Chain A
Amino acid sequence: MSWAFLRDLLSGVNKYSTGIGRIWVAVVFMFRLLVYVAAAENIWKHEHDEFECNIKQPGCENVCFDHFFPVSHIRLWALQLIMVSTPSLLVVFHVAYRENREKHHNQKLYKNPGKIDGGLLCTYLISLILKTGLEIAFLVLFYKLYNGFKIPRLVKCDIKPCPNTVDCYISKPTEKMIFLYFLVATSCLCIILNLGELGYLIFKYSIKCYLKRHMKKQQ
Chain B
Amino acid sequence: MDWGALHTILGGVNKHSTSIGKIWLTVLFIFRIMILVVAAEKVWGDEQDDFVCNTLQPGCRNVCYDHFFPISHIRLWALQLIFVSTPALLVAMHVAYRRHEKKRQFRKGDQKCEFKDMEEIRKQRFRIEGSLWWTYTSSIFFRLIFEAVFMYAFYFMYDGFRMPRLMKCNAWPCPNTVDCFVSRPTEKTVFTIFMIAVSSICILLNVAELCYLLTKFFLRRSKKAGNSKQQPNHENKEETKQNEMNELISDSCQNTVIGFSS
Q: Are B59 and A34 in contact (CB under 8 A)?
A: no
A50 touches B62 (CB 8 A): yes
B70 touching A178, Cβ below 8 Å: yes
B93→A171 contact, CB < 8 A? no
Docked Cα-Cα span, A30 to B88, in Å, equals: 12
Please indicate the chain B residues that have their CB under 8 angstroms from the CB of A35 in the complex: 78-79, 82
Q: Which chain B residues lie closer than 8 Å to A38 at the CB level?
A: 2-3, 78, 82
B86 touching A30, Cβ below 8 Å: yes
| Contact yes or no, A31 B1, CB < 8 A | no
Q: Which applies to chain A's interface (DSSP): helix, strand, loop or mixed?
A: helix
CB distance from A49 to the nearest CB of B (A): 8
Is the C-beta of A7 less than 8 angstroms from some C-beta in chain B?
Answer: yes
Contact of A169 among B6, B62, B70, B79 (CB under 8 A): B62
- Beta-carbon contacts under 8 Å, A120-151 to B: none
Of the four ranges (under 10, 10 to 19, 20 to 34, 35 or more), the interface on chain B belongs to 20 to 34
B48 at the interface (CB under 8 A from A): yes
A7:B59 contact, CB within 8 angstroms: no
> CB within 8 Å of A: which of B5-25?
5-6, 9
Point out the residue from A2, A26, A34, A52 that lies within 8 Å of B58, measured CB to CB: A52
Query: Is the C-beta of B259 less than 8 angstroms from some C-beta in chain A?
Result: no
Contact with A along B80-116 (1 / 0, CB 8 A): 0010011001000100110000000000000000000
Measured between alpha carbons, how far is A42 from B49 in the docked complex, in Å?
Answer: 13
Is A96 part of the binding interface, using a Cβ–Cβ cutoff of 8 Å?
no
- Interface size class for chain A? 35 or more
- In the complex, whether A69 has a CB less than 8 A from a CB of chain B is no
Find out whether the CB atom of A172 lies under 8 angstroms from the CB atom of B173: no
Chain B proximity of A173: nearest CB distance (Å)? 6
Task: Judge whether B173 and A54 touch: CB under 8 Å.
Answer: yes
Over the window 57-86 of chain B, the binary record of Cβ atoms lying under 8 Å from chain A Cβ atoms (1 yes, 0 no) is 111011101100111101100110010011
- Which residue in A2, A34, A42 is a CB contact (below 8 Å) of B82? A34
Give A6 to B96 CA distance when docked, in angstroms.
22
B5/A29 in contact, CB under 8 A: yes
Decide: A34 and B66 in contact? CB cutoff 8 A.
Answer: no
Whether B75 lies near A175 (C-beta < 8 A) is yes
A-B contact pairs, 17 of them (CB 8 A): A19-B97, A30-B6, A30-B82, A30-B85, A30-B86, A31-B82, A34-B5, A34-B82, A37-B1, A42-B75, A50-B48, A52-B58, A153-B63, A169-B62, A170-B62, A174-B66, A178-B71
User: Interface residues, chain B, CB within 8 Å of chain A?
Assistant: 1-3, 5-6, 9, 41, 48-49, 57-59, 61-63, 65-66, 69-72, 74-75, 78-79, 82, 85-86, 89, 93, 96-97, 173
Q: Which 7 A-B pairs rank lowest in CB-CB distance, beginning with the nearest? A: A169-B59, A3-B1, A169-B62, A174-B70, A54-B58, A39-B78, A38-B78
Q: A4-B1, A26-B93, A29-B1 are in contact. List 18 more A-B contacts (CB 8 A).
A: A26-B89, A37-B1, A37-B2, A43-B72, A46-B48, A52-B58, A54-B57, A54-B58, A153-B62, A168-B59, A169-B58, A169-B173, A170-B62, A171-B48, A172-B65, A174-B70, A175-B71, A175-B75
